[in-house]
Structure 1
Amino acid sequence: MDYIQAREYLLSKPEAIEDFPFGPEVAVYKIAGKMFATLGTEKGADGKPEGRMNLKCEPTQALMLREIFSAVIPGYHMNKQHWNTVILDGSVPQGELKRMIDHSYALVVKGLPKAKRQGLIAKYGEQVE
């Protein structure tokens, strides 16, 4: 999954919006005003730009993913217990990246006020859980 594919998948989540509160270099993806991902680029080891995505994650799972994938590191400029940075260098399988995005999105939905969360679940069902 590259930057473009990641952006498309992030925006495919129900009611996800893209915002640029930190400037044009980093896109922030939100559901109901709450951030579930960031997406930007940095120079890779070869000097070419590569995508980097911050995703929310349950703490135990965050540690496990860091042990399994060298492209998953503690969240850059984020709470390192609850956020991972994923380097989009092609080493993490696309299915796993989608699962991590889904997990991040679901964690944020779970933390929304009850009425908003129930409204999303009523409208979109399992897509938001």
Structure 2
Amino acid sequence: MNPDDVAAYALDLPEASEEEPWGPHRPVYKAGGKIFATLAAANTSQPDRLSVKCESALALHLYEQYPAVRPGYGYQGPRWHWITVHLDGTVPDEELAEMISHSWQCVVDGLPRPTRDRLRGLHRDRARPPAQDRTDGPASS
């Protein structure tokens, strides 16, 4: 995934929004007013970077599995970490999508119950395959 793909995926999650509170080329993605992902543009010493929230045990597993995944800047609590992924092409797109979705879910889990339940419902509805039209099936005898 490149930064445009990351942005498109993040913004496709229910009620996700994008802001640039830290200046241009530093977008953050929020759900329920809380940040679940940030992007930082490449510079002379590093490629583009994605930072997401991640449960502690999963973060440790990802550090071992992918050299491009590193501890993120900021809070490293007992339940979750922020991890930073260098978008250098070594982490599969499907894995990056899972990381973004997981981060969104971590943030949603911490929102007030009415907001949390509404966003979870929207997410479930999107993940559910469309119902098949009964008229397309074989005719009943």
Instruction: Indicate the TM-score class for this superposition, using the shorter chain for normalisation.
Output: 0.7 to 0.9
Structure 2 residue matching 1:43: 3-state secondary structure: coil
Larger Rg belongs to: 2
The code of the aligned residue for 2:108 comes to V
Alignment of 1:1-129 (within 5 A): 1-43=1-43, 50-76=47-73, 78-81=74-77, 82-125=81-124, 127=126
Aligned structure 1 segments of 4 or more residues deviating by more than 6 angstroms: none
CA 5–62 in structure 1, closer or farther in 2 if over 3 Å, else same: same
CA RMSD of aligned residues (A): 1.8
Q: Percent identity of the aligned residues? A: 44
Q: 8 Å contact 1:17–1:29 — kept in the other structure? A: yes
| Partner Cα distance (2:107, 2:51) in 1 | 13
CA 125–72 in structure 1, closer or farther in 2 if over 3 Å, else same: same
Q: 8 Å contact 1:39–1:54 — kept in the other structure? A: yes
TM-score (norm 1): 0.87
CA 44–71 in structure 1, closer or farther in 2 if over 3 Å, else same: farther
Total equivalences in the alignment: 124
| Partner Cα distance (2:89, 2:121) in 1 | 36
| Partner Cα distance (2:123, 2:25) in 1 | 31
| Partner Cα distance (2:17, 2:30) in 1 | 5
Gaps of 5+ in 1: none
1:15-72 CA distance string (max 9 Å, x none)? 1000111111310100010000001112265xxx732010000011111101110000
| Partner Cα distance (1:53, 1:121) in 2 | 23
| Partner Cα distance (2:63, 2:15) in 1 | 29
Gaps of 5+ in 2: 128-141
